Amino acid sequence: AKKENAQEIVNLAERTRAGASRILVFVRLRPMAKKEKEAGSKSCVKIVNKRDVYLTEFSNENDYLRLKRVRGRHFTFDASFPESTNQQEVYCTTTEELVEAVLQGRNGSVFCYGATGAGKTYTMLGTVENPGVMVLAIKDLFNKIRQRSFDGHHEVNLSYLEVYNETVRDLLSPGRPLVLREDKQGILAAGLTQYRAFSTDEVMALLQQGNLNRTTEPTRANETSSRSHAILQVIVEYRTKDALDNVVNRIGKLSLIDLAGSERALATDQRTLRSLEGANINKSLLALSSCINALVEGKKHIPYRNSKLTQLLKDSLGGACNTVMIANICPSSLSFGETQNTLHWADRAKEIRLKACEVSEEMQIPDSETDQAKLLLELQKENR
């Protein structure tokens, strides 16, 4: 019995380790816009081998290799997507695995991070001709459900909401701000629309309409700058009966998040309402970073309460959740500073993942499992 118990605990430790090392970081470079070309901007980013990103302040294509040695502006990610990468490729590399996991009743989340205009919304929502991750994920979800229709019943529900200036709004049914409530299941936005989805065709129109409801404000640095975070929640409920006619029920939730522009509020206009909003956005982004940090380090206290965004994502970050980050960047030398910031942030997120592996190697797994970890170490000593 003791041996069996040990086996169980080993599996638990392995799962914990796998879960903790699952934060994957990707970078997507968008093509140069016509406007940028007309403004005489040059490309300052080069992606090599689908992994390596070279950032240079020079326009000469041949300079990037020399710069790597001289200035060290070279980054490596789990994958880096050059300008030519299509939406399907981005979806398959970053999100497909999470859709599979959600069908197994686990949670997952995908974040797009980057400055305004870097391609976050294009990556997440896309266009009718080139639908993005949100639409491709739902399409794939329906395909996968069809393939296993013999095996129980699946129901797909969508919610689409925004966090703007620390206020939560329903993008599918605009109106008064939503109040966040905590109950046994977690934190819920009271009265949030749950749209029962049956096919992909309707979803694109629904999400595009929802996106039009997002709050956008003119700023000095950008004509229109989205300072809102948009969150699509895809909830998959699975029901079947086992051999003994008992009802089996499992729920998985996939959160797809188009974060607000990461540019510093101070870069636009310091002491105005805008900078207040900027402070709130930074508050949400900062809170997100500290939660992820705390989670992968196995900290006892995860500061979810620090922002509306992290409160909403509580059940999509911790536990049996898989997390993916996509950092969006643009090639123009005019955006050099923002691109550098985004790459630094993404690089740090990547280091958190590596740190998580080290931590779990030392068996410092989260609090609720510490007793079992101690027991495991004792059993290992006994078996030696």
Instruction: Point out which residues bind Mg ion (CB under 5 A).
Output: 120-121, 226
- Helix, strand, coil shares, percent, the chain, to 5: 45, 25, 30
Residues 333, 43 contacting (CB under 8 angstroms): yes
Chosen from ligand ADP, Mg ion, none, partner binding at 30 (C-beta under 5 to 8 Å by type): ligand ADP
**Is 120 assigned to a binding site?**
yes
Q: Determine, following the binding rule CB under 6 A, whether residue 120 of this chain makes contact with ligand ADP.
A: yes
Q: Is 86 helix (H, G, I), strand (E, B) or coil?
A: coil
Torsion angles phi and psi, residue 142, rounded to 5: -65, -40
- Binding-site partner at residue 262 among ligand ADP, Mg ion, none, CB < 5 to 8 Å by type: none
Sequence-distant (≥ 6) Cβ neighbours of residue 94 within 8 angstroms: 24, 26, 79, 110, 133, 324, 326
CB of 257 to ligand ADP, least distance (A): 12
Angle subtended at Cα 114 by Cα 113 and Cα 116, rounded to the nearest 5 degrees: 125
- Partner touching 328 among Mg ion, ligand ADP, none, CB below 5 to 8 Å by kind: ligand ADP
* Contact range with ligand ADP by CB under 6 A, out of 111-119, 145-153, 202-210, 269-277: 111-119
| Angle between helix 87-94 and helix 133-147 axes, rounded to 10 deg | 60
The window from 112-120, 183-191, 288-296, 363-371 that contacts ligand ADP (CB under 6 A) reads 112-120
Q: Considering only residues 9, 22, 25, 30, which one is a binding residue for ligand ADP as defined by CB under 6 A?
A: 30
Q: For residue 31, state whether it binds ligand ADP (rule: CB under 6 A).
A: yes
Residue whose CB is less far from Mg ion, 260 or 321: 260
DSSP code of residue 305: G
The annotation status of 115 as a binding-site residue, yes or no, is yes
* 328 is an interface residue for ligand ADP by CB under 6 A: yes
Choice between 29 and 295, CB closer to ligand ADP: 29
> Cα–Cα–Cα angle for 335, 340, 341, nearest 5°?
100
Instruction: Tell me if 215 sits within 8 A of 228, measured CB to CB.
Output: yes
Residues near ligand ADP (CB under 6 A): 30-31, 33, 114, 116-122, 226, 328
